[in-house]
A and B are shown apart, each in its own frame.
Chain A
């Protein structure tokens, strides 16, 4: 039984407390509390606001692109949607199966062979044991590992690791697909093949949220674009409209 996929985000803010230097220290915290400085400390605590007052809703069929400069909050927003960061303000509600393609080497261990890594990923995803052989076959075929499947990953070339990570990440078909831009890297011949596979996963997903600098990809895949700037939504609307505004600003800045 599958629920209807949906995402609702209301007035969400996420801030990172900066634990550099002394804030990491128990000694300093205790000393501050003992001298009565803690209260003041809490109010003046240095935080980086990664997302501020972000709100939108997505329903089945929506294809959202997130654009903005580095540090605009795109990845933080993806992590918030994936349930990794819990917001300090506002409300996030996500229904449906999620696959977040954030880290290509998630849970991989370079000392284990390809097959073991595939099984481990299956466990991370909570897949039952019965589907693991099929997962291994699917991934091995796509990543073209051949005999390397039974060798430790540290013997792989960089390209093979990318292929394995990509194949693993895309072997799982979710209702909600959250993608960071890492997977758009890779050599040209692989990219052609990867694109087919990725497109199949994207087509199969009810909701896509994609964070990228590659505007062409956004234009091809997304029906709606949110432009983030310093953690806030600067613009939200149909792809063409927002992209033209974004490009216009980039040109005027240059």
Chain B
């Protein structure tokens, strides 16, 4: 099964995609895996659609406002400023030491928590499309990713401004952020498929997920620094949110790579991707019935 593309440059009216559909009940796991793999590949091939949909989501959300998505930047900036002034005092830290850390952490955390909460509606929001045309489900995961990456890109301005004010530029070591970001994209897609599917099936998961992320915000060093935990900081890598935050945040703050953090990040990502794949193989064909 798959979508094979037809050459359309010569045809007068556009032709539809040529499709070969082969379904059978009680498929073997191998056959299900093949269908799931095709879904992912076809989804990637439709990246232009995913990009357009994700971009439209942002544009339509801020339609009619003069600053558009830069409202996000401003609200993040105000939040960082307010939190920064307050917590630098509470923690008795220098603003020049604390604010760059906070700006970076806050923006990265905002991405993580937005992604988790928007992952839940990945498939349910696309109900109309899913029920009226055959689409690779992976396209909708890509759409959520694109939307949240665009929001992140707008918020990055806050980091740049704060870093410029305190002259806190990281060195070339910051390039080590690239493998971290690659891992993020991988995990984001896996989480979107997993949560999107589970939330389509079980409608009471969304509040559970949101309150878990709320707890995650406090137990993860987002506004406080790992060093403040003293001797207990060694247990931090057991928190997957910490590991994943640190693989991107560490290099930008110019901290040396921590093997333990990366080990944790890779193990947790491996578990997430395996769970997602096992789920997707079973759930892919059922999603149209669930949404």
Q: How far is the CA of A129 from the CA of B134 in the complex (A)?
A: 20
CB distance from B13 to the nearest CB of A (A): 5
Whether B56 and A112, one on each chain, are in contact in the complex, defined by CB atoms closer than 8 angstroms, is yes
A27 interface residue (CB < 8 Å to B): yes
Stretch in A59-67, A170-178, A214-222, A226-234 with 4+ CB within 8 Å of B: A170-178
Q: How far is the CA of A5 from the CA of B204 in the complex (A)?
A: 44
Whether B14 and A131, one on each chain, are in contact in the complex, defined by CB atoms closer than 8 angstroms, is yes
Whether A83 and B204, one on each chain, are in contact in the complex, defined by CB atoms closer than 8 angstroms, is no
Known: A26-B202, A26-B205. Contact between A109 and B129, CB under 8 A?
no
8 Å CB contact of A84 from B14, B46, B133: B133
Taking CB atoms, residues of chain B closer than 8 Å to A195 are none
> What 1/0 mask marks residues of chain B from 94 to 131 whose CB sits below 8 Å from any chain A CB?
00000000000000000000000000000000001111
Taking CB atoms, residues of chain B closer than 8 Å to A172 are 13-16
8 Å CB contact of A25 from B1, B49, B202: B202
Q: How far is the CA of A19 from the CA of B17 in the complex (A)?
A: 33
CB distance from A189 to the nearest CB of B (A): 23
Minimal Cβ-Cβ distance residue in A for B50: A123
Taking CB atoms, residues of chain B closer than 8 Å to A122 are 14
Whether A97 and B60, one on each chain, are in contact in the complex, defined by CB atoms closer than 8 angstroms, is no
Whether B202 and A120, one on each chain, are in contact in the complex, defined by CB atoms closer than 8 angstroms, is no
Q: How far is the CA of A204 from the CA of B138 in the complex (A)?
A: 32
Known: A89-B25, A126-B46. Contact between A106 and B133, CB under 8 A?
yes
Whether B17 and A97, one on each chain, are in contact in the complex, defined by CB atoms closer than 8 angstroms, is yes
CB distance from B139 to the nearest CB of A (A): 9
A91 interface residue (CB < 8 Å to B): yes
Known: A26-B208, A27-B204. Contact between A100 and B15, CB under 8 A?
no
Known: A134-B14, A173-B14. Contact between A87 and B23, CB under 8 A?
yes
Taking CB atoms, residues of chain A closer than 8 Å to B9 are 128, 130-131
Taking CB atoms, residues of chain A closer than 8 Å to B203 are 24-25
- Total residues of chain B contacting the partner, CB 8 A: 49
Whether B132 and A84, one on each chain, are in contact in the complex, defined by CB atoms closer than 8 angstroms, is yes
Whether B23 and A83, one on each chain, are in contact in the complex, defined by CB atoms closer than 8 angstroms, is yes
Q: How far is the CA of A106 from the CA of B48 in the complex (A)?
A: 18
Minimal Cβ-Cβ distance residue in A for B42: A126
Taking CB atoms, residues of chain A closer than 8 Å to B202 are 24-26, 29
8 Å CB contact of B49 from A91, A124, A135: A124
Q: How far is the CA of A126 from the CA of B48 in the complex (A)?
A: 9
Whether A125 and B20, one on each chain, are in contact in the complex, defined by CB atoms closer than 8 angstroms, is no
Interface-central residue, B16, B53, B63, B128, by most chain A CB under 10 Å: B16
A157 interface residue (CB < 8 Å to B): no
Q: How far is the CA of A93 from the CA of B19 in the complex (A)?
A: 10
A138 interface residue (CB < 8 Å to B): yes
Known: A25-B203, A83-B134, A106-B132. Contact between A3 and B23, CB under 8 A?
no
Where the two chains meet, the residues of B that have a C-beta atom closer than 8 Å to any C-beta of A are 1, 3, 5-6, 8-9, 11, 13-26, 45-46, 48-49, 52-53, 56, 60, 63, 128-135, 201-205, 208, 285-286, 288-290
Selected A-B contacts with CB under 8 Å, 18 pairs: A1-B6, A3-B20, A19-B201, A24-B202, A25-B204, A26-B205, A83-B21, A86-B23, A91-B24, A98-B16, A109-B56, A120-B52, A123-B46, A126-B3, A127-B14, A130-B9, A134-B14, A172-B16
The 10 A-B pairs of least Cβ separation, nearest first, read A103-B132, A26-B202, A86-B285, A174-B16, A83-B134, A97-B16, A123-B49, A94-B21, A97-B18, A89-B25
